[in-house]
Chain A
Amino acid sequence: MSNPSNLKYTASHEWVKTEADGSITVGITQHAQELLGDMVFVEAPTAGRKLKAKEECAVVESVKAAADVYAPVSGEVLAANSDLDGAPEKINSDPYGAWIYKMKPDNAADVAALLDAAAYQAVVDSEAH
């Protein structure tokens, strides 16, 4: 599965989608879910929480391990995806559909400055060596 070109990415393996209203949804990439394996638990941030860029704000746990999810940019949490509470495995089956939380970025320019699909793929490739 290739990384969708309409999304932005972080070097810590989050994907970021800009919605029509300027808010962003955040999830973890295909590469990240593959590394972690079967997901069994997601802990998302609560609405209203203020986040700084690169702050730990969510946890995804697979059978194997727990991993932190970081805020791609600074802003405020708008919502968590409660669908994942009972079905964390959606992150495995549909990583780019299973968003973890939604936030309102402080600056749209911060989002624009994140990695594009090709730059993110270069990060993944460099980790493989």
Chain B
Amino acid sequence: MTLKTTPLNAAHRAMGAKMVDFGGWDMPVNYGSQIDEHHQVRNDVGMFDVCHMRVVDAKGDGVRAFLRYLLANNADKLAASGRALYSAMLRPDGGVIDDLIIYFMTEQWFRIVVNAGTADKDIAWMKEQAAKVAPQLVITSRDDLAMVAVQGPHARTKVWEVLPQTKTATEGLVNFQAADCGEYFVARTGYTGEDGFEVMLPKEKVEAFWYALSKVGVKPIGLGARDTLRLEAGMNLYGQDMDETVGPLESGLGWTVDLKSERDFIGKAALLANPPTRKLAGLVLLDRGVLRGHQKVKTAHGDGEITSGTFSPTLEKSIALARIPNEVQLGDTVQVEIRDKLLNAKVVKYPFARNGKGLI
């Protein structure tokens, strides 16, 4: 099978990236030390090729009402233009089709950013639902756009150095807000737990943008560090921490699900009918070793499973997200089965690290 490539493929190779097959995409896993790349983002600034993620525009009358029905989080929370919302998109049985970010631009236009591996499925689902309840909407996959995430305490300054024309429109952005600056769509969002921008721009301009960032000192960061950064920041990864077989309330996404309003949405009835018996919790390994996905977790209230685990470069300890019985409390010690041993881990509140600092 031929791997799909982003417009930055040649740039990655020129910068010494080690490339891997990431869900059918030929992507950089690291350019040198993954741990150095992780610290680079926490302490300074780094850039990520996220061109494999998909930008979708939903346009037309009644787009807000459609999203209010389509998504578990409530599009009505978005009042000011540019404001963004993180949400799960559910099946009628409550399983998670994908997690995504929507940006409210106008009452005629919401922008949606979805995961790479689920993009085709997501768009098909959105169009199928729109055909039923909002046939006037036009849902467009923006395959003409590329996306680069610039993350870290110095990220915004570096983007303004390279794109000074966007500064006026973007310096007032709060966290989770975007500005449409013509060719450049600049959002103060990310997947690292650090400040920064995600910049969407025409594909043919992305390589020049990437090299211009590099020239002002922004280091390229691979998918390896992207994973340790997001896990420290307590952010879910679709396909690992949740998928179509599990609901958002058992995936640490209860805070994104609005069950209080009168609003109906796809999956709501199933969530109300099936109260969660498990929850997503943070673990910190007390013994020596490394927590990894799919390891079994033994608790006083039954077994659970690690969904994502890694070594945290910020804490210099192994951390994980695990789906465990509801009865397990913060501070409890649980056992994780690693090879032939049972190792002790403590149940903790996550995120584990954000804004340059460990939180555990």
Contact = CB atoms under 8 A, between A and B. Distances in A.
Interface of A: 37-38, 40-41, 43, 59, 61, 63-64, 66, 85, 92
Q: 7 shortest A-B CB distances, which residue pairs?
A: A40-B311, A61-B290, A38-B35, A63-B311, A41-B290, A38-B34, A63-B34
A85 to B, nearest CB: 8
B33 A38 contact: yes
A91 to B, nearest CB: 13
18 contacts: A37-B30, A37-B34, A37-B224, A38-B33, A38-B34, A38-B35, A40-B290, A41-B288, A41-B318, A61-B289, A61-B311, A63-B34, A63-B224, A63-B311, A63-B313, A64-B29, A64-B34, A85-B288
Given A37-B34, A38-B35, A41-B311, A66 B224 contact: no
Q: How large is the interface on B (under 10, 10 to 19, 20 to 34, 35 or more residues)?
A: 10 to 19
A66 B290 contact: yes
Contact of A66 (B29, B228, B292): B292
A66 B292 CA distance: 9
B355 interface: no
Contacts, number: 36
Contacts of B288: 41, 43, 85
Nearest to A37: B34
Interface string B287-298: 011101000000
Contacts of A38: 33-35
Contacts of A61: 289-290, 311
Interface in B224-241: 224, 228
- Most B CB atoms within 10 A — which of A37, A38, A59, A61? A38
A27 to B, nearest CB: 19
Given A37-B30, A37-B34, A38-B34, A63 B292 contact: no
Interface string B23-45: 00000011001110000000000
Contacts of B35: 38, 63
A41 B310 CA distance: 11
Nearest to B223: A64
Contacts of A92: 33
Nearest to B341: A43
